[in-house]
Structure 1
Amino acid sequence: MNINNSRSDRILLALNKFFLLITVLIVLIPLIYVVVASFMDPTALLNKGISFQASDWTIEGYKLILSNESMARGFFNAVYYSVAFAVITVAVSIFAAYPLSVDNFVGKNTFMSLFIITMFFSGGLIPTYLVVKDLGMLNTVWAILLPAAVNVWNIILARTFFKGIPKELKEAANVDGASELLIFFKIVLPLSKPIIFVLALYAFVGQWNSFFDAMIYLDDAKLHPLQLVLRSILIQNQTMPGMINDQLAMAELKRLSEMIKYASIVISSLPLILMYPFFQKYFEKGVLVGSLK
């Protein structure tokens, strides 16, 4: 079916395509630059810029990072923290959001107001640290998984999604004698895959990129996630000007630091890049329905 667009429509569509192309280039060009730079010798990169000559390429940066004994342990810790945090956050969010979406739930507005207040006001870092310490969670995985498990924005998204589920389904189940708990697990939950995947992706990405909580609460290096390990590697390969008198040693240290920097960015981003295509269809549908319905 051919649609005859007016001149103004064609101009608008052309402008949309142009701005979308610009947006894609803004995102894609830095990504390509970082990936290519991670395989290049820093000296060649500095002198020539991006080059595709084989003589300018090296995998020394990846060798330096992967040869570090703490890398494998940090990668495992990061996967474990991210998956466990996503499971806990999604469970807390949907169990908190569903009652708030039920019309006859007494006090839902009061609970929602209390949740929203926490989005604007918090105890701060020191009180949070003292609470974690008093609960005996310092230097344990629970210090990473529990303090941020309740995310009010995720609860709002899930509640909005649940409100969009047709009431007729619940009413028909009530007529058949189903309890609210049975309705949730047999009807609501199977229909909520899009929002569940969206919340899981948000939680996974947020935890994967996080290193501050681990830096504050974890002293044991065996518990450090990948991001904190990479941060330590970068710091170890950097120094303040004037600390090294040998100019050649300083130049070599700078070269190694640049290689490790780009390689660490690629390594830390690779799991997210590989994971996103599998979540894309759920992500688009879940965000759209959860935000607008």
Structure 2
Amino acid sequence: MINKFSWGDAINYIILGIISIICLVPIFYVFSVSFTDPSVFIPLEFKLIPEKFSLDSYFYIANTSSFKSALSNSVIVTIAGTIINIFVTFTGAYGLSKTSLPGGKIFLALITFTLVFSAGMVPNYILVKGMHLINTYWAIILPVMTNAWSFLVVRSFMVAIPNEIEEAAKIDGCNDISLFVRIIIPLSLPAVATFVLFFAVDHWNSFFNTMLYITNTKMWTLPLLIKSMIMDSGATSGSAAAGIAADQQNVPVETVKMAAIVLSMLPIVVLYPFLQKYFVKGVMIGAVKG
């Protein structure tokens, strides 16, 4: 039977269209301002198409030492943090997916407990400071090596892998490590790709932990740099924005701020299409299992 287009469908499309426009207009505005020539830019004037196209803002922000330093810091934290996140989450989840693990239920209960209760900001800061991790990359990476939600989701995914596959691999001579690397990980590629994106986005956009644990401006990541550019631009010369880099004698103009925002978004926007097929594959696997 052919479904007829009803008034309810029309109302749903209109509502979704309005919501989409509300979400997309600010993004288009940021792109428009970033490509506008600073000499013709008028503050508080709303335009979705640049009056005069220019890449001067991108060249300026890309050539500042502060942006280069923040970009390299973000790349290091994102790559190292994501690798550690994937290793800790998947190895731990694989171990807890086995009912034969001694004390497995206790560990699983403790992990589930952290979904509801956490130590809080002050104890975490005292712990990081006590380990002498302030102003180091580890202060941003180690406190978020994994989280309970990711742990439980990956464990559920691995529990669904048939035990017969593992038994056949052990008969062929695989030990636990080779079984995990050669059998479990390839079968879990949709989950791996999904959580690589999740963890990478979290690290790339990490702001609060960086602000809390990093006081050295040379170790700032892009989110903290952009925050200082936008929020502290009207402050005095002694503010964080004024002390970002020695080569920035003036506070960046609005077009430079928008260019920095666009440049900070690009890596994740570029990464997503390469992982999209794994999302689709993961959905299909979940749909036919039964």
Same fold (TM over 0.5): yes
Q: 2:93–2:152: 8 Å Cα contact kept in structure 1?
A: yes
Q: Tell me, yes or no, if the aligned pair for 2:133 and 2:139 is still in contact at 8 Å.
A: yes
Give the 3-state SS of the residue equivalent to 2:143 in structure 1: coil
Letter in 2 for 1:73: S
Q: Secondary structure at the match of 2:114?
A: helix
Query: Partner of 2:33 in structure 1?
Result: 37
Structure 1 residues 174 and 130, CA gap change in structure 2 (3 angstroms): same
Corresponding residue for residue 251 of structure 1: none
Measured at CA, do residues 236 and 27 of structure 1 come closer, stay the same or move farther in structure 2, by a change above 3 Å?
A: closer
Mapping of residues 26-175 of structure 1, within 5 Å: 26-40=22-36, 43-44=41-42, 46-47=44-45, 49-54=47-52, 57-175=53-171
Q: 1:273 aligns with which of 252, 269, 273?
A: 269
Output the CA distance in 2 between the equivalents of 1:261 and 1:168.
56
CA-based RMSD of the aligned residues comes to: 3.1
Q: Aligned in 2, Cα 1:19/1:109: closer, same or farther, shift over 3 Å? A: farther
Any unmatched runs of 5+ in structure 2?
237-250
Q: How does 1:182-261 map to 2 (within 5 A)?
A: 182-239=178-235, 257-261=253-257
Partners of 2:257 and 2:283 lie apart in 1 by: 33
What displacement does 1:22 show? 5.2
Ranges in structure 1 where 5+ consecutive residues have no aligned partner? 241-254
Q: Using the TM superposition, give the Cα deviation of residue 169 of structure 1 relative to its aligned residue in structure 2, in angstroms.
A: 1.0
Name the counterpart of 1:285: 281
Contact 1:161 1:290 in 2 (8 A): no
**d(CA) in 2 for partners of 1:200, 1:290:** 19
The structure whose RCO (Cα within 8 Å, separation 6+) is larger is 1
Query: In the TM superposition, what is the alpha-carbon distance from 1:89 to its structure 2 partner?
Result: 0.4
For 2:282 and 2:148, locate their aligned partners in 1 and report how far apart those are by CA, in whole Å. Answer: 17
Instruction: For residue 49 of structure 1, give the secondary structure of its aligned residue in structure 2.
Output: coil
* 1:13–1:48 Cα change, 3 Å: closer
The TM-score, its normalising length taken from structure 2, stands at: 0.80
CA deviations 1:149-190 (Å, max 9, x no partner) are: 121111112112112222221232244454333322221111
More helix by share: 1
**Aligned residues of 1:234 and 1:260 also touching (Cα < 8 A):** no
Q: Aligned AA for 1:138?
A: I
- TM-score, structure 1 as length reference: 0.80
